[in-house]
Amino acid sequence: MTGSTRCTYVHLEDRAKLCCYDGRGSRPFVYLDLCIGLQVGRLVWDDENFSKSARNIALVKKADGWWLEADVEQTNGAYERRALCLEERIECFEDGTIEYV
């Protein structure tokens, strides 16, 4: 998430609620199910309800930022691990808010 260094504690609740605690009492969040979906076995932006069928959903901190990872059903019925970089479209602002852009 762009500006994620402003958040001292980032986590997922209820499989798809991205929460960002800024250390000042504010607990802003973004419902990822309103902006991320599944298409042909992959996680995609500008879609909805990825958590309805994805398994083992996790928020992972990597060198290049926060990533959403999940096991996603492929066209052959098998599940494969897929990832989406949250830095691309989630913004943490100085005022403690977080939003999908």
pTM exceeds 0.75: yes
CA gap 97, 100 in Å, rounded? 10
CATH number of the domain bearing residue 52: 2.30.60.10
Domain that holds residue 69: 4-100
Please, which pLDDT band fits residue 1 given cuts at 50, 70 and 90?
Answer: low
For the chain, what is the domain count?
1
Is the pLDDT reported for residue 5 higher than 70?
no
CA gap 88, 48 in Å, rounded? 17
CB-count exposure of residue 32 (10 Å: 0-12, 13-18, 19+):
buried
Q: What is the per-residue pLDDT for 6?
A: 55
Report, as an integer, the average pLDDT of 50-59. Answer: 97
